[in-house]
């Protein structure tokens, strides 16, 4: 693949310019491997997470959701093998002070919290196999060389599912999650995901099958997400098992794990959406974000901000739309050309302009981000059009 580092610089610069992502602690020179999400970046990330929850958890009837602590009893990461296998790569921390202080670690993946809580879940909900638990949360790795913007950072977020099954059924569920991951990629607007069957030598020692979902980043092809069959390794490590009421047998369930990094998802979406074209004889940049994840669904403008009758009509339309679609924005900053440029770069699919005709016939202009074309439509048709 030909590297296109210029595109990476463009994305980093757009993210800063439009308030998606900034270097952490920037006023002090930044801090390698740490990033801050600004207003639009936070909304984009939240939309991605909500959509993941919908597809990986709520659309199914065999899933639970959880939110476990980032810091746990040191025994969790000792039993899981992380401390002995990845000692330098996980952040050591002290909990408590003085002689009472306990040394433990920031979690390097969200998964262990799910395994360590397995008994609670089973005791409370009595789920029948197969079932899964999903979690979104921060993970920390003391990466030796954090790089490529948010691709490899030291603090990042994961969306993980641990799916528990009888041993003989694992491959069926593996295939099912594989499909879910591929269709999720399409639905959030990630262009072309490449599946790489990871060879035995490259796999984690406990995994009997792993597929890396890869993406062509400007710096080369790299991992986006992973799908692993983790066998019964984790529950065994924590000495946990399951009583199957149907067979009257006690055994250790096996695990299939789709693991998706939120930040790499954000990056792949931004790279897929980044577009340059010519409009009205000028080069323009826009993010072709799917409307289900775009931070702003539509922006409402008064044509002129010094005409009170236009401003108040625009406010009225904005308030009406916002009741139906929360991600509506009012924008009267700068002239109309600047507003279009800003909204294009934020990835706003529609812009609505209130002009003098609106005052007489209750119609507005609706501009489509991708074509730049405008149509005149009635205010009463707006909600339908934007949804």
Q: How far is the CB of 177 from ligand ATP (least distance, A)?
A: 14
Tell me which residue has its CB nearest to ligand ATP.
261
Beta-bridge partner residues of 202: none
Strands 102-105 and 35-37: unpaired
Is 214 or 363 the residue whose CB approaches ligand ATP more closely? 214
Are 329 and 342 spatial neighbours (Cβ–Cβ below 8 Å)? no
Q: How far is the CB of 259 from ligand ATP (least distance, A)?
A: 4
Question: By CB neighbour count within 10 A (0-12 exposed, 13-18 middle, 19+ buried), where does 144 fall?
Answer: exposed
Is 137 or 261 the residue whose CB approaches ligand ATP more closely? 261
Is 128 or 147 the residue whose CB approaches ligand ATP more closely? 147
Taking only Cα atoms into account, the Rg of the chain, rounded to an integer number of angstroms, comes to 24
Q: How far is the CB of 150 from ligand ATP (least distance, A)?
A: 7
Among residues 164, 78, 81, 169, the alpha carbon closest in space to that of 121 is found at 164
Distances (CA, A) of 50 to 74, 104, 105, 282: 31, 31, 28, 36
Q: How far is the CB of 141 from ligand ATP (least distance, A)?
A: 5
Is 156 or 184 the residue whose CB approaches ligand ATP more closely? 156
Q: How far is the CB of 339 from ligand ATP (least distance, A)?
A: 34
Is 155 or 345 the residue whose CB approaches ligand ATP more closely? 155
Beta-bridge partner residues of 329: 299
Is 92 or 125 the residue whose CB approaches ligand ATP more closely? 92
- In the complex, the residues that contact ligand ATP under the rule CB under 6 A are 109, 141, 143, 152-153, 156, 158, 223, 225-226, 259, 261, 263-264
Among residues 302, 303, 301, 267, the alpha carbon closest in space to that of 287 is found at 267
| C-alpha to C-alpha distance for 314 and 302, rounded to whole angstroms | 5
Is 227 or 328 the residue whose CB approaches ligand ATP more closely? 227
Q: Torsions phi, psi of 29, nearest 5? A: 95, 10
Are 212 and 264 spatial neighbours (Cβ–Cβ below 8 Å)? no
Q: How far is the CB of 198 from ligand ATP (least distance, A)?
A: 9
Q: How far is the CB of 365 from ligand ATP (least distance, A)?
A: 41
Q: Torsions phi, psi of 291, nearest 5? A: -70, -20
DSSP letter for each residue of 169-180: GHHHHHHHHHHH
């Amino acid at each position: 693949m030909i590297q296109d580092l210029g595109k990476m610089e463009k994305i980093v610069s757009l993210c800063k310019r439009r308030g998606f992502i900034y270097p952490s602690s920037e006023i002090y020179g930044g801090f390698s491997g740490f990033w801050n999400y600004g207003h639009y970046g936070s909304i984009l990330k939240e939309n991605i997470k909500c959509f993941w929850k919908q597809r990986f958890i709520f659309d199914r009837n065999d899933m639970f959701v959880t939110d476990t602590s980032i810091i746990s009893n040191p025994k969790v990461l000792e039993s899981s093998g992380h401390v002995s296998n990845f000692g330098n790569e996980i952040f050591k921390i002290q909990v408590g002070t003085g002689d009472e202080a306990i040394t433990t670690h920031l979690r390097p993946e969200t998964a262990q919290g799910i395994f360590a809580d397995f008994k609670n879940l089973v005791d409370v909900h009595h789920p029948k196999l197969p079932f899964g638990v999903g979690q979104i949360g921060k993970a920390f790795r003391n990466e030796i060389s954090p790089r490529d913007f948010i691709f490899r950072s030291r603090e990042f977020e994961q969306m993980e599912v641990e799916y528990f099954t009888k041993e003989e059924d694992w491959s069926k569920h593996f295939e099912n999650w594989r499909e879910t991951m591929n269709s999720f990629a399409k639905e959030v607007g990630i262009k072309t995901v490449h599946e790489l069957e990871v060879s035995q030598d490259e796999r984690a020692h406990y995994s009997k099958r792993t597929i890396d979902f890869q993406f062509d980043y400007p710096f080369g092809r790299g991992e986006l997400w992973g799908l692993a069959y983790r066998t019964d390794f984790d529950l065994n490590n924590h000495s946990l098992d399951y009583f199957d009421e149907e067979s009257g047998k006690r055994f250790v369930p096996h695990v299939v794990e789709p693991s998706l990094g939120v930040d790499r998802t954000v990056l792949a979406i931004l790279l897929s959406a980044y577009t340059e074209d010519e409009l009205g004889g000028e080069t323009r940049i826009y993010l072709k974000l799917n409307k289900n994840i775009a931070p702003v669904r539509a922006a409402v403008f008064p044509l002129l901000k010094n005409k009170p009758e236009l401003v108040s009509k625009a406010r009225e339309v904005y308030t009406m739309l916002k009741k139906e679609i929360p991600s509506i924005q009012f924008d009267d900053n700068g002239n109309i050309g600047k507003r279009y440029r800003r909204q294009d770069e934020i990835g706003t699919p529609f812009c609505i302009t209130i002009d003098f005709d609106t005052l007489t016939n209750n119609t507005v202009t609706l501009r489509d981000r991708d074509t730049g074309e405008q149509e005149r439509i009635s205010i009463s048709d707006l909600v339908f059009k934007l949804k």
